[in-house]
Amino acid sequence: MTLETKTIGIVLNGEPRRVPDGLNVAGLLKYLEIDGQKVAVELNREIVRKPEWESAEVREGAQVEVVWFVGGG
């Protein structure tokens, strides 16, 4: 018997993507294996500050932008 996880459709950095239902921003980054120390996140066109990642729910149709910090000189 296979246990199926309900998924939702989101747009991640302009690309349609299916992810598990019930994630918050922190959980989404973990699911995507993205290091949260090196990114900024925008959810539905609003920047989500790191202290709010646990409470910011990712819902069906969400538009998520993940931007990586890049160092240079």
Q: Is 16 exposed, middle or buried (0-12, 13-18, 19+ CB in 10 A)?
A: exposed
The confidence score (pLDDT) of residue 5 equals 80
Give the C-alpha separation, 44 to 34, whole Å: 19
Of 12, 62, 3, 59, the C-alpha closest to 32 is 12
In angstroms, the Cα distances linking 12 to 4, 66, 73 are: 22, 8, 29
The confidence score (pLDDT) of residue 2 equals 56
The confidence score (pLDDT) of residue 45 equals 97
Q: Which residues of the chain have pLDDT under 50?
A: none
The confidence score (pLDDT) of residue 71 equals 74
The confidence score (pLDDT) of residue 44 equals 98
Architecture of domain 21-68: Roll (3.10)
What are the residue ranges spanned by the domains of the chain? 21-68
